[in-house]
Amino acid sequence: MESLVEVHERSFVRNQSPKTDAASLKVLVVEDDDFQRRNLIRALNRCGVDAITEAEDGVRALDLLRSGEQQPDLILCDLDMPNMDGMEFVRHLAEQNCQVALAITSGCDALFLSSVEALCEAHSMKVLGAINKPVTMAHLAQLLETVLELPPAAGMMESESPRYSYTLEEIRGAVSRSEIVPFFQPKLDIASGRIFCAEALARWQHPSHGLVAPGAFIPQLEAAGELDALTLSLVDQSARACHSWHELGLKLGVSVNLSLTSLGDVGLADRFDRIVRAAGVDPAYITLEVTETAAMTELAPALENLARLRMRGFGLSIDDFGTGFSSMQQLGRIAFTELKIDRCFVMAMLRKREARAIVSSSIEIGKQLGMVTVGEGVETAEELAALQEVGCHVAQGYFIARPLSEEAFIKYCREQQ
């Protein structure tokens, strides 16, 4: 069977301070078969790793981890083991909130490995890679390189994990003082290579904590039923930014995120319309990216609002398409103009044929319904090329640009022209 290394998901962090070569890494090998274990250790040695701990099953591995001596940087774990198999081992790791990078070694096929990855994700653990046996040095070297590239724990991305948790009171204050502003991430028209739009992403410019990502305040506002004030503020700020771009000769559109829970008030569409026109912008330049969450409000007012927004000329995008709540059923109910494929599929499409199948069939559906298709979460040139190959219209992601302050966004667009 062809060996396979899947290296992905940058959400892990290393336990220790930055390391630059394999000799500095500590690896825990969990493998019941003596021959395979010895083989793997020898290959690791040849890659320059000396600090290797071994365990013949999950029980022993957990004991070693609990003993609390130095934490490994990487756990290489077999799936099929007596006493405690790899699946159960992963569950225990998750229960202990273990953050160590994990890679799976197995003789199973890629489809099975990706179902194990899904299992790990369900436990909020992400596997760093899966290696088919027999493990080769080239694959190990690639895996070790990825471990070395992981950001150290302290350097966690601003947008990934909120460092503080805020009270509703503090968040309300931030909204009323307009401390929450849109950052703009370019959307690239793949065929022409031009930026034609930007997605507004909420950022709290906290007076002492710096930039705070939306995960630290949007869920709280949503749960309290108080998201509307922020949504209206962001529509207003984004529409005004859009107007200033037009004044500068940059004929760009802007997309604003809209939670379906905000659509319970049937007056919302009219308020958006007034805000956008007051900013001097034609609603045709504004797209609302609609996300559905579990806590959906009543359907009827939401549909009335969306139909009215569409009638007034706003664009409507179905966000996170393919994930739990953003489903096929919505396509028939709402006149969407854009279909946005969730980044988890785009980020996996080069590694997993299921993800690629989901991306290309979503694009097919979008095209048949006359919608613009967008792939988000594009981090590499290869991902961009893959999207182009399956006929996607628009790409968005760090490879093109990160979300930028309004000033930086204008500078970026000027440089692109």
Name the residues that contact ligand C2E, by CB under 6 A.
159, 185, 201-202, 213-215, 218, 231, 234, 257, 259, 289, 291, 319-320, 343, 376-379, 397-398, 403
At which residue do the structure tokens 């939401």 appear?
A: 302
Of 106 and 291, CB closest to ligand C2E: 291
Q: Which one among 319, 338, 383, 406 touches Ca ion, defined by CB under 5 A?
A: 319
Nearby residues of 105 by Cβ (< 8 Å), 6 or more positions away: 31, 36, 40, 76, 77, 78, 79, 130, 131, 132, 133, 135
Query: Checking DSSP bridges between strand 194-206 and strand 253-259, what pairing results, if any?
Result: parallel
Q: Are 146 and 351 in contact (CB under 8 A)?
A: no
Q: Which one among 320, 338, 383, 406 touches Ca ion, defined by CB under 5 A?
A: 320
CA–CA distances in Å: residue 168 to residues 54, 61, 182:
48, 42, 20
Under the binding rule (CB under 5 A), the answer on residue 383 touching Ca ion is no
Of 61 and 378, CB closest to ligand C2E: 378
Q: Is the dihedral of CA 384, 386, 387, 391 positive or negative?
A: positive
From the CB of 397, what's the least distance to ligand C2E, in Å? Answer: 3
**In angstroms, rounded to a whole number, what is the distance separating the alpha carbons of residues 44 and 147?**
13
Of 185 and 305, CB closest to ligand C2E: 185
Of 73 and 320, CB closest to Ca ion: 320
**In angstroms, rounded to a whole number, what is the distance separating the alpha carbons of residues 243 and 27?**
55
From the CB of 202, what's the least distance to ligand C2E, in Å? Answer: 4
Of 172 and 343, CB closest to ligand C2E: 343
Q: Which does 202 bind (CB under 5 to 8 A by kind): ligand C2E, Ca ion, none?
A: ligand C2E
Q: Which one among 9, 236, 292, 342 touches Ca ion, defined by CB under 5 A?
A: 342
Q: Are 135 and 35 in contact (CB under 8 A)?
A: no
Q: Are 171 and 217 in contact (CB under 8 A)?
A: yes
Structure tokens at 365: 């559906």
For residue 375, the 8-state DSSP code is E
Query: Checking DSSP bridges between strand 74-78 and strand 372-376, what pairing results, if any?
Result: unpaired
Of 217 and 245, CB closest to ligand C2E: 217
Q: Which does 72 bind (CB under 5 to 8 A by kind): Ca ion, ligand C2E, none?
A: none
Bridge partners of 311, per DSSP, are none
x/- track of binding to Ca ion for residues 250-279 (CB under 5 A): -------x----------------------
Under the binding rule (CB under 5 A), the answer on residue 289 touching Ca ion is yes
Of 134 and 151, CB closest to ligand C2E: 151
Chain residues that interact with Ca ion, rule: CB under 5 A: 257, 289, 319-320, 342
